[in-house]
Amino acid sequence: MKYENAGEVLPEELLRELQKFAAGKLLYIPLGEDKKAWGETSGYRNQLHKRNHMIRNKYAHGVTVSELADEYFLSLDSIKKIIYTKKNGGHLAYAPTVESAVRYANAGMMEEWIEAYLLFTRKMALPLQKSAEEDYYYVGVVKLPLRLIQREGTESGEQEADVAGEGAGADLPLLVHYEERKFHCTVHSELLAVLRQRKINAYPAILMMKGKDDYQRFKKYYGSVLYYVGSE
C-alpha cells in the first residue's frame, strides 16, 4: 500500500485535529459504507491544485505570505510550502493575453484565468457572485462574431472609443456573459467599441454563463459552430 503525506491530502484544520490523537503514527483509514468513486477523490485533489495555483499567482503579483495565510486560513509554513515547493514545474504563469487564456482553458482552469485577470489586471471582484445553489459555466477561448453581442444602453455610435491603454489591447480576450439567449459585454465595453470601429468581424472571447439552462441553450445553438482559438 502506498502511503501519502497527510499534510498534502487533508485540510489543515482536520490535520491539526488528527495530530492531537495520533501524531507520528501510521493510520489506516477504512472506506465508508459507500465506496467513493475515483472522480470524487480526484475532484478534491483538483480543487487543491487550483487553490495552490492561485496562491502562487497572488504571491507573484505582490500579495504577502501573511495576507495569503489569512485569506485561505492556512499557516504561514503551509503557504510557504505551497509557494516554494519544487513541484511547481507545471505552474501556469498568468498574463492578460489570449495565449495565456488558451493555456488555462486547455488545463481546465478557465475560471482561474478570469479570477487572475480581474484581480491583477482590472483590480476588481468577479462579476459573477457565486452561490451554492447555482452552477457556473465557462467556454473559451472562442472566436465570437461581434454582431452577436448586444449593444448596451451606454454604448453610443457617435462616441469615439478611447484607443489608449487596455482599450487598444490587440491580445486581450473579451469577457462575455451569455444569458437568456443574448450575449453581453460590460467588462470590456471600451475594447468592444474599438473593435467595432475597426470593423472587426470576430474576436477571441471567453463566455461566462450562469445556470444549466443557459449552458444547454448555448450548446444547442452555438456549441458546434464557434471556432476555438488554439485548436488544430
Judge contact between 181 and 217, C-beta under 8 A.
yes
Which residues are CB-neighbours of 99 under 8 A, at least 6 positions away?
Answer: 171
Q: Compute the distance between CA of residue 6 and CA of residue 77 in angstroms, rounded to an integer.
A: 15
% of the chain with per-residue pLDDT over 70: 69
Q: What is the pLDDT of residue 57?
A: 86
Mean pLDDT of 143-153: 89
> For residue 122, is pLDDT > 50?
yes
Q: How many other CB atoms are there within 10 angstroms of residue 79's CB atom? A: 24
Cell of 132: 451554492
- The SS3 call for residue 96 is coil
Mean pLDDT of 37-61: 75
Q: What is the pLDDT of residue 85?
A: 78
Enumerate long-range contacts of 60-66, CB under 8 Å, 24 or more apart.
60/93, 60/94, 61/94, 61/119, 61/120
> For residue 88, is pLDDT > 70?
no
* pLDDT band for position 207 (cuts 50, 70, 90): very high
Q: What is the pLDDT of residue 165?
A: 44
Starting at the edge strand that comes first in sequence, how are the strands of the sheet with 136-145 ordered?
A: 182-184, 174-179, 202-210, 136-145, 227-228
Q: What is the pLDDT of residue 61?
A: 85
Strands 136-145 and 174-179: unpaired
Mean pLDDT of the chain: 78
Mean pLDDT of 26-46: 57
Domains and CATH numbers, the chain: 131-232 (3.90.1530)
Closest CA to 174 of 152, 191, 158: 191
- The SS3 call for residue 1 is coil
> For residue 104, is pLDDT > 60?
yes
* pLDDT band for position 121 (cuts 50, 70, 90): confident
Strands 202-210 and 174-179: parallel
Helices (H) and strands (E) in the chain, counts: 9, 5
> For residue 132, is pLDDT > 60?
no
pLDDT of 150-206, one tens digit each? 987 545 443 444 444 444 445 899 999 999 899 999 888 889 999 999 999 999 999
What is the model's pTM?
0.68
